[in-house]
C-alpha cells in the first residue's frame, strides 16, 4: 500500500475537514463545565441564576459560556414548540442521606445528559408527608416541566397519582408493583444470585442476608436472587435465622442486630450496609474474612479505600441515568413510545472479604 506524501492535498483536506467537524460540535453545559473544571450542575445553576453559586464563579461561567458561543434562551423555545425544555427529577427526602450517596452521582449524570439534549433538569425533593398525602409535585402544578424522572422507591399510591397527571414519566432504580410503567433498573435479581452462587462455590453453606425486603423493590429483587442461589443447592431451610434488618419499611436506617447464631457468610443489600456489618462484627470480636465472609452490592466509590476490599456486585449507575434520560426524551417527543422495563447488567467484583471454605 502506497503512503501519500506529508504535503498531499487529500490528507491536508482530510485534516481540515476533521478540524472543521470538531469546531462545529455543539457547545453544551457539559462542555463549559469541563473547560472550567466544575460540575454541569454548577454551570446550570449559574446560567439560570439559581442559588448555590458565588457571584464570582457565576461571572466566570457566564463569560466562558459567551466566549465559547453558548446561547441559553428558553423563552423562544417555549413559544415555538409549546414546551418548556425542562425535566423534573423527583426524589424522596429519605434517599438524600448517607447510604444513598450514589444518588447524587446519578442526579449529576442526568443533568449532564439532559443538557446534551438541550434540556434543563429541575430537582424536587419529596417529603414524607407530601408522599403520604399524594401531593402533586410543585413543578407539575406550575406546569414547569415536559417530563418527570422519579428517582428511588416511591409508594404505590403516589405512583397512581402521578400516572393521572398526563405527563411523560420514567421510574429510575425501582419499579411499580401493579401497573405497567416505564422503568430503568439494575438486574438486581441476577446480580444477587451471582454473588450468592460465588459464596456457595467457595464452600459456604450457612449464608445470611442483610436488608429489609419490604423497603424497596431493589432490595426485594436482591433478596429473591439470594434465595434462588440457596434453593438451587438445598440451603434455603436455614436462611430465616440469619436475616438481619438494616432499615424500617419506610427506608430509615436502623442499628444492625446480629443473630444469636452466626452464619459463615452474609450477603448485604448494598456496600454501605456491608461496611456497617463489618464494623458491627469487629465490635463483637469477629474478623472479616477470617471468621465471617461479607459481600456487598453496588460497588460504591466510598468502599474502594476501606481497609478490607469488599467483594461486591457493580451496578452501572451512569448507564442507568443515561438510559432514563433517553427514555424520557423519547416519551416527551413521541407519546406512543413505551419501552417497558429496561434492565442494566451487573458484574461481579472480587476483592478480599470472602474466605474460601473449600476448593472452588
Summarize pLDDT for 6-62 with one digit per residue, the tens: 333 333 334 333 333 334 456 788 889 899 999 888 888 888 777 788 989 989 998
- pLDDT value at residue 296: 98
- pLDDT value at residue 191: 99
The three three-digit cell numbers of residue 259, written as one number: 443473630
191 φ/ψ sector (left φ>0, alpha ψ -120 to 50, else beta):
alpha
Domains and CATH numbers, the chain: 9-67 (1.10.260), 188-316 (3.40.50.2300)
Q: Is the pLDDT of residue 360 over 90?
A: no
Summarize pLDDT for 183-232 with one digit per residue, the tens: 999 999 999 999 999 999 999 999 999 999 999 999 999 999 999 999 99
What are residue 266's phi and psi, to 5 degrees? -125, 140
Summarize pLDDT for 306-357 with one digit per residue, the tens: 889 999 999 999 999 999 999 999 999 998 998 899 999 999 999 999 999 9
Q: What are the start-end ranges of the H helices in the chain?
A: 9-23, 29-36, 40-47, 55-67, 74-81, 102-116, 128-132, 138-141, 156-163, 188-201, 217-232, 271-283, 317-333
What is the DSSP secondary structure assignment for residue 250, as one 8-state letter? T
Longest dimension (CA), the chain: 80
Say how many C-beta atoms besides its own lie within 10 A of residue 147's C-beta: 23
Summarize pLDDT for 125-159 with one digit per residue, the tens: 999 999 999 999 999 999 999 999 999 999 999 99
Amino acid at each position: 500500500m502506497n503512503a501519500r506524501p506529508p504535503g498531499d492535498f487529500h490528507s491536508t483536506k482530510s485534516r481540515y475537514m476533521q478540524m472543521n467537524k470538531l469546531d462545529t460540535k455543539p457547545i453544551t453545559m457539559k462542555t463549559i463545565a469541563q473547560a472550567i473544571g466544575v460540575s454541569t450542575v454548577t454551570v446550570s445553576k449559574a446560567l439560570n441564576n439559581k442559588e448555590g453559586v458565588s457571584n464570582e464563579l457565576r461571572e466566570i461561567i457566564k463569560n466562558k459560556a459567551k466566549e465559547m458561543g453558548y446561547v441559553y434562551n428558553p423563552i423562544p423555545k417555549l413559544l415555538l414548540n409549546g414546551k418548556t425544555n425542562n425535566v423534573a427529577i423527583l426524589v424522596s427526602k429519605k434517599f438524600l442521606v448517607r447510604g444513598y450517596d450514589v444518588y447524587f452521582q446519578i442526579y449529576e449524570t442526568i443533568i449532564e445528559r439532559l443538557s446534551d439534549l438541550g434540556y434543563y433538569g429541575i430537582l424536587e425533593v419529596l417529603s414524607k408527608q407530601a408522599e403520604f398525602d399524594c401531593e402533586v409535585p410543585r413543578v407539575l402544578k406550575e406546569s414547569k416541566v415536559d417530563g418527570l424522572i422519579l428517582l428511588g422507591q416511591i409508594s404505590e399510591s403516589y405512583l397512581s397519582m402521578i400516572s393521572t397527571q398526563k405527563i411523560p414519566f420514567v421510574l429510575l432504580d425501582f419499579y411499580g408493583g401493579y401497573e405497567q410503567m416505564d422503568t430503568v433498573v439494575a438486574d438486581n435479581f441476577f446480580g444477587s444470585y451471582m454473588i450468592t452462587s460465588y459464596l456457595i462455590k467457595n464452600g459456604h453453606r450457612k449464608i445470611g442476608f442483610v436488608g429489609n425486603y419490604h423497603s424497596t423493590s431493589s432490595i426485594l429483587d436482591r433478596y429473591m436472587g439470594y434465595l434462588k442461589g440457596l434453593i438451587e443447592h438445598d440451603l434455603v431451610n436455614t436462611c430465616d435465622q440469619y436475616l438481619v434488618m438494616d432499615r424500617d419499611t419506610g427506608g430509615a436506617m436502623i442499628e444492625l442486630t446480629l443473630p444469636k447464631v452466626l452464619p459463615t457468610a452474609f450477603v448485604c443489600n448494598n456496600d454501605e450496609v456491608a461496611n456497617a456489618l463489618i464494623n458491627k462484627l469487629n465490635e463483637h470480636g469477629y474478623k472479616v474474612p477470617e471468621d465471617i465472609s461479607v459481600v456487598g452490592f453496588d460497588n460504591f466509590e466510598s468502599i474502594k479505600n476501606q481497609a478490607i476490599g469488599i467483594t461486591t456486585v457493580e451496578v452501572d449507575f451512569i448507564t442507568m441515568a443515561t438510559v432514563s434520560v433517553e427514555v424520557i426524551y423519547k416519551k416527551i417527543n413521541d407519546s406512543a413510545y413505551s419501552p417497558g422495563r429496561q434492565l442494566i447488567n451487573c458484574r461481579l467484583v472480587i476483592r478480599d472479604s470472602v474466605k474460601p471454605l473449600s476448593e472452588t
